[in-house]
A and B are shown apart, each in its own frame.
Chain A
Amino acid sequence: MFGFKRNNLADSSVNNDMLSKQRRYDSLVRALHADLFRYAYWLCGDKHIAEDITQETFLRAWRSLESLKDDKAAKAWLITILRRENARRFERKQFDYSDVEQSELADNVSLSTEDNMEQYLVRRQIARLEIEYREPLILQVIGGFSGEEIADILQLNRNTVMTRLFRARNQLKELLDQEHTRGRSNG
């Protein structure tokens, strides 16, 4: 009878664990799914693939949620998982979209609202950036990570990261200026 009672207690504490894990997961999804999806999108350039990667990432996160000790590090942790998932995509199978030129990806960016011509141009130019320049820029602008944190996530040294950030902005600025002068001379 005591055994039974103890069993019950153990059961309920397991349930409590489950419940708090569930809550933790729910809040992670709520707070970070948009950033993660966007990051995935800018990594692979396709909304559907980005959605798949995001799903895989969160499922993996759920399975190993215990290993995330500090909730403040959740974003960097999830991004690390996501980058691994993205890399796995190329290991698994040589999908045809892996051959697609980065510059062509820009055409996938839909021109949804009319006032977004400017945004459309910027998106196209971001998609044209080399992935090694694009990634630190996204981490800095969307992720809000510092140079050190980006270096940590990408496993580069900080100087390399800063150089890449410099080049990323430099290239973007040049490309956009070109675009504008071209637009102006066309108009």
Chain B
Amino acid sequence: MDELKFRREAYENPNNHDDDFLSAMRSSDERQAFVKDLKRLDSQIESALKVDVPEGLEAKLLLNQQLHQHQVQRRKTGFTMALVASVAFVAGISFTLLRLGPVDLGQHALAHVYHEDMALISHDDVSFNTINTQLASLGTLANARFTEQPGQVLYSTYCDFQGVKSIHLVMQGAQGKVTLFIVPVEDRMILDEAFADNRYQGMGFAADNAYMLLVGEHHDDLNNIKEEIKQSFI
């Protein structure tokens, strides 16, 4: 290795550990002193470069990141909250709309009869005055009432027709029990003149401002009771 190359390499990196460089260095005392001098310069440079690090920089860096993380998380939580709120809102709206949808009274009446099978076992004797009281409490049917006892009434209660408060009566017909629903008229209701499934038959008619729905096992009973109600209900 010639002198020029050696000096050049020494300047490039005095801590060079290449064999060529090391053996070139060892070949003369002068070269060793030269490298030693440069190493001294390097250590001077190193200690000069090591400026004081501001106190607490490490803690600041960690804190900064934590704050950043916190913000990101809050943003995420905000987004989640917004999402949950939207879902709840949509659910609320659709539930309301569902309740305002058209009501098929016939099908509902049948379903109600099946659902409230207790009603058909009951053997009370309800007077028409009690029924009138119930009718009066329905608000929209405050003026409707029975003028006389419409045959034997075995059961009477309030019930809910898709959000409309109605009256559920069970009456004794000649051949079996007949369920009568008195439902205040609402626009969204669809009244079927006649409806049926494998077990029950039903008929509906409008009286004043109420819909009457009759459900029973025998068609004759339905007709009889319909006539009775038409006479006694005003």
Q: Does A182 contact B (CB under 8 A)?
A: no
- B58 in complex: contacting residue of A29, A42, A172, CB < 8 Å: A29
Instruction: Tell me, in angstroms, the Cα distance from A138 to B62 when the chains sit together.
Output: 25
Q: Are B45 and A172 in contact (CB under 8 A)?
A: yes
Which stretch in A2-10, A83-91, A96-104, A139-147 binds the other chain?
A139-147
- A169 in complex: contacting residue of B38, B60, B61, B68, CB < 8 Å: B38
Shortest Cβ distance from B65 into A: residue: A62
Task: Bits for A67-101, please: 1 = Cβ < 8 Å to B, else 0.
Answer: 00000000000000000000000000000000000
Chain A residues with a Cβ closer than 8 Å to the other chain, count: 38
Q: Are A47 and B64 in contact (CB under 8 A)?
A: no
Q: Does A156 contact B (CB under 8 A)?
A: no
Q: Are B48 and A51 in contact (CB under 8 A)?
A: no
Q: Does B51 contact A (CB under 8 A)?
A: yes
Q: Does A131 contact B (CB under 8 A)?
A: no
Q: Are B13 and A118 in contact (CB under 8 A)?
A: no
The B50-64 residues at the A interface (CB cut-off 8 A) are: 50-54, 57-58, 60-62, 64
How many whole Å from B67's CB to the nearest CB in chain A?
10
Name the prevailing secondary structure of the A interface residues.
helix
How many whole Å from B86's CB to the nearest CB in chain A?
20
- B61 in complex: contacting residue of A58, A118, A172, A176, CB < 8 Å: A58
Q: Are A141 and B65 in contact (CB under 8 A)?
A: no
Instruction: Tell me, in angstroms, the Cα distance from A62 to B11 when the chains sit together.
Output: 38
Q: Are B52 and A112 in contact (CB under 8 A)?
A: yes
Shortest Cβ distance from A138 into B: residue: B49
Shortest Cβ distance from A26 into B: residue: B62
A170-B65 contact in complex given A37-B53, A112-B52, A142-B50, C-beta closer than 8 Å? no
Instruction: Tell me, in angstroms, the Cα distance from A32 to B57 when the chains sit together.
Output: 11
Task: Bits for B3-27, please: 1 = Cβ < 8 Å to A, else 0.
Answer: 0000010011110000000000000
Instruction: Tell me, in angstroms, the Cα distance from A123 to B107 when the chains sit together.
Output: 95
Q: Does B41 contact A (CB under 8 A)?
A: yes
How many whole Å from B144's CB to the nearest CB in chain A?
51
Q: Does A154 contact B (CB under 8 A)?
A: no
Q: Are A55 and B45 in contact (CB under 8 A)?
A: no
Instruction: Tell me, in angstroms, the Cα distance from A25 to B38 when the chains sit together.
Output: 37
Which are the 4 A-B pairs with shortest beta-carbon distances? A122-B48, A166-B11, A169-B11, A123-B48
Interface residues of B (CB under 8 A from A): 8, 11-14, 38, 41-42, 44-54, 57-58, 60-62, 64-65, 68-69
Interface residues of A (CB under 8 A from B): 25-26, 29-30, 33-34, 37-38, 41-42, 47, 51, 54-55, 58-59, 62, 109, 112, 118-119, 122-123, 126, 137-138, 140-142, 147, 162, 165-166, 169-170, 172-173, 176
